[in-house]
């Protein structure tokens, strides 16, 4: 079948995500036929380096033999069984492993990040209800936060283009000043700015804690806001404030978990254990949809009762899917056997070094947290992001700037020569656009 036919059929039958479909009148879809390591290959054999890990999900490359093999093995024994009333080895093994890694437990599963956010919010609210704190019904988050786009998650998200249209449908939540270092005053250190923002948080929590169920936060990097990064001191203070005022801390590690920031989980860099952790995206290495929320024994115990209604009566059809769990187990096995976090330090240093080349261009705020590197392009181009995206594709690179922020979040398996290609192709694209 010709590409053109496939593209037309896709536009007729598929409503693509996060897209004004009419823009595809001028801008073609790309028909991907196969993946191979950091590369995506289209129907004409053209290769694109996947510098954004296919929306931040892929960790160890496309067509990874070990993850693929684990799914195939699982497929021969059990593809799925409902998790209410039943259990299976992959979900138990994964839950034990995640508990060991996070210091939390009682893993509750869903299939995407937004559902994990919903679960954490509902669990927090329900915990306070079960413990007689009926007034604690409100949530707070950071300015420019992103926690997913279902109605509950959108209620704590603060990205105008995703949120404003649906405002009449959303629960109200308050947004605390973001410790995004780009917003600091001249001469202020990242840590001082983090402390100043934490002080604002404390003032708010001090006044409203009787109504507050939880503070939900993206640890260290607010990815969807344009890779806004901040000092770990903010997390440490946030933990102390939440503990002091009896408010839950929900760590949304959906994007930053599984090594993206250099540690397995970003909260580790502040030596903080949240009350809830939300995981998804990289959890299966980018193979299958899966998310999980883990929490404390204390929260779990507040639901453990003779009364059915005190239980957490939430479910998704594919909760704990064995294929997805086996992909996640294979992903965690790679972390262990290949000393991934150690190896990533070298890759991150190499990337940092190579990215100095961008300093010859009009850019600001070069920043990096582990395997995420970003900078802001100074331009008056009104459609910089889409122009840069198109120019990068021409160079054989999948890059998806957010506003004027160009970022790299490649699969961890990227080689040095592939980093070279990624940087050179980005330089080429930027020179074309600027």
Binding residues for ligand PLP, rule: CB under 6 A, are 112-114, 117, 146-148, 218, 223-224, 252, 254-255, 280
Compare residues 121 and 433 and give the one whose CB is closer to ligand PLP. Answer: 121
Compare residues 147 and 239 and give the one whose CB is closer to ligand PLP. Answer: 147
The Cα–Cα gap between 404 and 198 comes to 27
* 42 SS3 class: strand
Cβ proximity of 40 and 398 under 8 Å: yes
Compare residues 104 and 121 and give the one whose CB is closer to ligand PLP. Answer: 121
What minimum distance in Å lies between the beta carbon of 221 and ligand PLP?
9
What minimum distance in Å lies between the beta carbon of 154 and ligand PLP?
10
CA angle centred on 295, ends 79 and 267, rounded to 5°: 105
Cβ proximity of 252 and 139 under 8 Å: no
What minimum distance in Å lies between the beta carbon of 34 and ligand PLP?
23
Compare residues 180 and 418 and give the one whose CB is closer to ligand PLP. Answer: 180
Compare residues 49 and 283 and give the one whose CB is closer to ligand PLP. Answer: 283
What minimum distance in Å lies between the beta carbon of 375 and ligand PLP?
20
Compare residues 110 and 393 and give the one whose CB is closer to ligand PLP. Answer: 110
What minimum distance in Å lies between the beta carbon of 165 and ligand PLP?
18
Residue nearest to ligand PLP (CB): 113
In 222-367, which ranges are continuous DSSP H helix?
Answer: 233-245, 297-303, 322-337, 340-354
What minimum distance in Å lies between the beta carbon of 84 and ligand PLP?
23
Q: Which candidate, 233, 245, 234, 163, places its Cα nearest to that of 204? A: 245
What minimum distance in Å lies between the beta carbon of 219 and ligand PLP?
9
Beta-sheet strands, E only, within 280-395: 291-295, 363-369, 372-377
Tokens 């993850």 — which residue? 67
Cβ proximity of 400 and 223 under 8 Å: no
Compare residues 148 and 410 and give the one whose CB is closer to ligand PLP. Answer: 148
User: Residues 6 or more apart from 405 whose CB is under 8 A from it?
Assistant: 226, 227, 374, 375, 376, 377
């Amino acid at each position: 079948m010709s590409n053109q036919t496939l593209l037309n059929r896709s536009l007729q039958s598929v409503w693509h995500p996060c897209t004004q479909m009419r823009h595809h009148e001028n801008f073609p879809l790309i028909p991907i036929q196969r993946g191979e390591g950091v590369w995506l290959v289209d129907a004409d054999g053209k290769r694109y380096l996947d510098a954004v890990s296919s929306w931040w999900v892929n960790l160890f490359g496309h067509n990874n033999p070990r993850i693929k093999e684990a799914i195939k093995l699982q497929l021969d024994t059990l593809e799925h069984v409902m998790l209410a009333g039943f259990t299976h080895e992959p979900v138990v093994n994964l839950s034990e492993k995640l508990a060991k890694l996070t210091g939390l437990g009682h893993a509750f599963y869903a299939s995407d990040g937004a559902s994990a956010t919903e679960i954490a919010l509902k669990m927090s609210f329900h915990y306070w209800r079960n413990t007689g704190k009926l007034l604690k019904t409100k949530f707070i988050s950071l300015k420019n936060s992103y926690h997913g786009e279902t109605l509950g998650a959108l209620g704590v998200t603060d990205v105008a283009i995703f949120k404003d249209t649906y405002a009449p449908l959303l629960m109200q939540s308050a947004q605390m000043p973001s410790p995004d270092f780009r917003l600091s005053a001249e001469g202020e250190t990242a840590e001082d700015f983090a402390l100043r923002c934490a002080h604002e948080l404390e003032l708010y929590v001090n006044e409203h804690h009787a109504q507050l169920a939880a503070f939900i936060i993206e640890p260290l990097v607010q990815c969807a806001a344009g890779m806004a990064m901040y000092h770990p001191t903010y997390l440490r203070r946030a933990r102390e404030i939440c503990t002091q005022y009896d408010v839950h801390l929900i760590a949304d590690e959906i994007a930053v978990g599984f090594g993206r920031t250099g540690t397995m989980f970003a909260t580790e860099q502040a030596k903080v254990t949240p009350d809830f952790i939300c995981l998804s995206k990289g959890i299966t290495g980018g193979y299958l949809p899966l998310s999980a929320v883990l929490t404390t024994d204390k929260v779990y115990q507040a639901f453990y009762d003779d009364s059915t209604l005190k239980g957490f009566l939430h479910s998704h059809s594919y909760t704990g899917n064995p294929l997805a769990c086996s992909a996640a187990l294979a992903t965690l096995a790679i972390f262990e056997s290949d000393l991934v976090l150690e190896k990533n330090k070298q890759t991150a240093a190499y990337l940092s070094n190579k990215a100095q080349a961008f300093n010859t261009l009009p850019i600001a705020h070069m920043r990096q947290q582990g395997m995420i590197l970003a900078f802001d392009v100074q331009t008056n181009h009104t459609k910089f992001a889409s122009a840069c995206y198109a120019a990068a594709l021409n160079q054989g690179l999948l890059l998806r700037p957010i506003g004027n922020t160009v970022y790299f979040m490649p699969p961890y398996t990227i080689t040095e020569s592939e980093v070279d290609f990624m940087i050179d192709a980005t330089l080429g694209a930027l020179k074309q656009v600027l």
